[in-house]
Structure 1
């Protein structure tokens, strides 16, 4: 679940009516696309890669996380609770230098078996699951998913995400992380999963 924490820490700062996907990066077996999102000034992104591992190995890596506490470590995703066998609540907080206000995200992941070789983890905001934190903006709009598909190349991992970062942030900050954040996340995910099976 540290992989998802990367996303929550780095992607709350993405900026820009929904349109066609545009390939923004293709490197080290990772592809990242971006597009406008409905009537929002912020864009969404989609990242994909292939990993030679098992479906359960990917799910375990995405869902494992330390337990949530009021003083949990900044920048790391924490498991708040499991509402059912297939619904997980996570929390991550990220501190920023003044004058940018700190942000935190409470997200719900719902695991769905679409087919024998396809699993989807739907992501949505769950801002009311835990109390607000002082001097911290709580993300209210978050939507996306992880899609895991098994084929002859291994496991195809797709992550699509839209986040409204709340407040006001300079465009140069949001634009800078639009591709670099997801790419770093997927590179780490790919390396971690491949090392587990090596």
Structure 2
């Protein structure tokens, strides 16, 4: 359990779309319960990029609203001790602050994200991108600031009345976490997070969500 917890830092992570554009490099790690987890190497990084995909019987608006609900993040990601809105910049742009409790003797982490939400007018897919910010919040004693971090969610309505979800993530946790161990443990936690998300939406949570910046097909 202690070692498994280390991987959750990957879920608040560095992912720069297009850094490794070779689609053939993806390797299937797990295909279970309708959720696929794939990984691929990233040039110049010791840590693998992770892609989690599934289909959810629900609405794009509901998934967006869940991901926007900071109180829900500790349920999605067990190592997140708190998540809060730092600043709302516009309806679809914000700054989010996350704190992560790491198992001893690993030092706790925190990160300040800049989140943007964009919808494609043609296919109504929504992309949420979180990129780490630096130089805004002073670093806190007892925490290592994650300074190179991005995660990206793509929510695409499908022809079955649901949503195809893709979550791509890659991290440099900014500290002495052995890459070999982190990579070895990079399958289970993303699978669990996607499963929690899907279960919540299909159970009807956020079913009445109507964010003004999302148009349903």
- TM over 0.5, shorter chain: yes
Partner of 2:41: 36
- Structure 1 residue 57 corresponds to structure 2 residue 62: yes
Query: Could you tell me whether the CA contact under 8 Å between 1:65 and 1:79 is conserved in 2?
Result: yes
Partner of 1:186: 194
Partner of 2:108: 102
Query: Could you tell me whether the CA contact under 8 Å between 1:13 and 1:174 is conserved in 2?
Result: no
Q: CA deviation at 1:129?
A: 3.4
Which of the two has greater strand per residue?
Answer: 1
Whole-angstrom distance in 2 between the partners of 1:129 and 1:169: 25
Whole-angstrom distance in 2 between the partners of 1:113 and 1:97: 38
CA 1:145–1:12 in structure 2 vs 1: closer, same or farther (change >3 Å)?
closer
Deviations 1:60-104 (A, max 9, x none): 0111124xxxxxx96232221211221122122122233311111
Partner of 1:152: 159
Partner of 1:77: 83
Q: Residues 170-181 of structure 1: matches in 2 within 5 Å?
A: 170-171=178-179, 173-181=181-189
Whole-angstrom distance in 2 between the partners of 1:53 and 1:12: 23
Partner of 1:3: none
Partner of 2:139: 132
State how many pairs are aligned. 184
Partner of 2:174: 166
CA 1:48–1:192 in structure 2 vs 1: closer, same or farther (change >3 Å)?
same
Partner of 1:11: 10
Whole-angstrom distance in 2 between the partners of 1:25 and 1:195: 24
Say which of 18, 27, 47 aligns to 2:32.
Answer: 27
Segments of structure 1 that go 5 or more residues without pairing to the other structure are 1-5, 67-72
CA 1:10–1:111 in structure 2 vs 1: closer, same or farther (change >3 Å)?
same
Say which of 60, 67, 89 aligns to 2:95.
Answer: 89
Whole-angstrom distance in 1 between the partners of 2:185 and 2:193: 11
SS state at 1:98 partner: coil
- Structure 1 residue 142 corresponds to structure 2 residue 132: no
Please report the RMSD computed on the Cα atoms of aligned residues, expressed in angstroms.
2.6
Whole-angstrom distance in 2 between the partners of 1:157 and 1:44: 17
SS state at 1:128 partner: coil
